[in-house]
Amino acid sequence: MGIHLDQIVPWGRSRNEYDLMFRLAARDMSGGVLDCGGGPASFTAELSACGNRAVSVDPIYVYSSTDIRARFEATAESMLSQVRATPGDWTWRYHRDPEDLLANRRAALERFLADYEHGLRSRRYIPGELPSLPFASGSFGLAVCSHLLFLYSDLLSEAFHIESLRELCRVANEVRVFPLLTLHCEPSPHVAPVRSALEAEGWTSEIVCVDYELQRGGNQMLKVSRT
Ligand SMILES: C[S@@+](CC[C@H](N)C(=O)[O-])C[C@H]1O[C@@H](n2cnc3c(N)ncnc32)[C@H](O)[C@@H]1O
């Protein structure tokens, strides 16, 4: 794995947030769901508890639950300070304020950790990373990717984005990515080149407005499916 735990902030979202970010309906789960870069989100734990086939892939799944919780606690205060220092960047509709945001992130982490050891043994949490995933072609009906692609556009190149979306399209029949903003709340420069590359390879993409916004202006996802 090319990533170390001290390079990432293991803040995860809940299933309810995923449902809103990706406009998920019950029929979207029918072919199995992959959460790519799922980290400590509780989406897969909550989905599988309801009897759905859900799998998360992330490089941090080589670490223990103790390590992941410790990293969360080590980064929580500085994350909160950054949020408080940039009030213009956030909307407080889903989360009431920065303290509520932290409480919700901690709740998602605990929900994830409660499922983690058992989920590792059940192959629900798989260590792996873009741009090359350890799954056969067409393994999932849907792949979602939250707060990784496009968000880290300064760190991850256009070529990495194209390769990663191509890989997600290989393993799933449909792919949804949220948000389309960078960490600076600016539209990602990689969205248009990714869409052009995928279209040339027979995929259709659309930008869809969703009922979730935390980063100001960040209420859109990219939806990609086979033409
Ligand atoms: C900001 S977290 C988002 C977690 C989760 N998707 C959510 O929205 O709650 C980003 C995650 O991406 C993972 N990650 C980093 N590089 C990755 C890669 N190349 N492929 C897959 N996941 C990666 C990190 O380990 C981290 O867990």
Local confidence band at 177 (pLDDT 50, 70, 90 cut-offs): very high
179 Cβ below 6 A of ligand 1 = no
Q: How far is the CA of 38 from the centre of ligand 1 (A)?
A: 6
Instruction: Please give the average per-residue pLDDT across 56-74, as a whole number.
Output: 96
> Is the CB–ligand 1 distance for residue 20 below 6 Å?
no
The reported pLDDT for the residue numbered 3 is: 59
34 pLDDT more than 60: yes
Mutate to test the pocket of ligand 1, among 71, 94, 148 (most ligand atoms within 8 A of CB): 148
Return the pLDDT at 184.
Answer: 93
Going by pLDDT thresholds of 50, 70 and 90, the confidence category of residue 1 is very low
What separation in Å is there between the alpha carbon of 52 and the centre of ligand 1? 22
> How many angstroms does the Cα of residue 14 sit away from the middle of ligand 1?
14
Q: pLDDT tens for residues 121-151? A: 999 999 999 999 999 999 999 999 999 999 9
pLDDT at 83 over 60: yes
Rounded to an integer, the average pLDDT of 165-176 is: 98
C-beta of residue 197 within 8 angstroms of C-beta of residue 203:
no
CA of 206 to the centre of ligand 1 (A): 23
Position 27 confidence tier, pLDDT thresholds 50, 70, 90: very high
Ligand 1 and 146: CB distance under 6 A: yes
Query: Residues 190-215: pLDDT tens digits?
Result: 999 999 999 999 999 999 999 999 99
Mean pLDDT of 76-95: 94
